[in-house]
Structure 1
Amino acid sequence: MRILIVFLLLGTLISCESKSGSTLLTSKEMKELMALDSVQLIDVRSVESFREGHLKGAQNLVYDDEFVQKIQELDKNKPVAVYCRTGRRSEECSKILEDAGFKKIFQLKGGVTQWEFEDELVKDTLSQ
């Protein structure tokens, strides 16, 4: 069943590619993707913003001059979902991930700001 959900999700997302070649996800689609064990969820905001609240299961890899070195700890064979506050930094990070050889890259469309706007129950999916 889980595999079927993945194929359906990925099939509907193919037309939603961003400029970087990554796939843009709505907050609902991101929640579905987050349910998969194999997804590497990356928050590229500052440490302070991450501490104030982040998506459950996310790891904080701050987008800075050392981002290329930080992503070396990730598995290029597993999907990567990246997000920030508004989507700008995650777009830049997606380009870097693509250049580094990652094949399945997903972005939260509009970042955490859009997530909060779309989902009044965001407190259930943010952890501090």
Structure 2
Amino acid sequence: MADLTQEEWAEQVAQHKEAVVLDVRTEEEFEDGYIPDAINIDIRQGQGFIDELEKLDKSKTYYVYCRSGARSAQACALMEQLGFDEAYNLLGGILEWEGDIVA
């Protein structure tokens, strides 16, 4: 797991067309606006979050974000424990995101 700056994160997402953008905020936060092509799995669901992660392809590359970067860092650490190959945390979260947002 690695923390990436906004620039690094955006660049790598653009380069990895097979990568998955994962938003770990609440459904309400997600509906307020999200990074294009993101899927939403709320980390606050506890075991439900883990159950949803287990359904994902662990060999893919995941770019994970939340509001400020704290929950997504937790999610990346958890994903690493669950055996995901690559999960990258967006430093500063969507609050500092300067790219496109789907409203």
TM-score (norm 1): 0.73
Residue aligning to 2:40: 60
Of 59, 80, 84, which residue of structure 2 is paired with 1:98? 80
Residue aligning to 1:82: 64
Distance (whole Å) between structure 2 residues aligned to residue 126 and residue 58 of structure 1: 10
Gaps of 5+ in 1: 1-21
Secondary structure, aligned partner of 1:69: helix
Distance (whole Å) between structure 2 residues aligned to residue 58 and residue 37 of structure 1: 13
Distance (whole Å) between structure 2 residues aligned to residue 91 and residue 24 of structure 1: 8
Q: Flag the structure with more relative contact order, 1 or 2, with Cα contacts below 8 A and sequence separation at least 6.
A: 2
Distance (whole Å) between structure 1 residues aligned to residue 70 and residue 86 of structure 2: 19
Cα drift, residue 98 of structure 1: 0.5
Secondary structure, aligned partner of 1:24: strand
Query: Structure 2 counterpart of 1:60, which letter?
Result: N
Query: Structure 1 counterpart of 2:4, which letter?
Result: L
Query: Structure 2 counterpart of 1:45, which letter?
Result: R
How many residue pairs end up in the alignment? 100
1:127 aligns with 2:102: yes
Distance (whole Å) between structure 1 residues aligned to residue 61 and residue 81 of structure 2: 15
Distance (whole Å) between structure 1 residues aligned to residue 7 and residue 49 of structure 2: 27
TM-score (norm 2): 0.90
Secondary structure, aligned partner of 1:127: coil
Query: Structure 2 counterpart of 1:92, which letter?
Result: Q
Residue aligning to 2:11: 32
Residue aligning to 1:3: none
Cα drift, residue 51 of structure 1: 0.7
Distance (whole Å) between structure 2 residues aligned to residue 33 and residue 54 of structure 1: 18
Query: Whose Rg is larger?
Result: 1
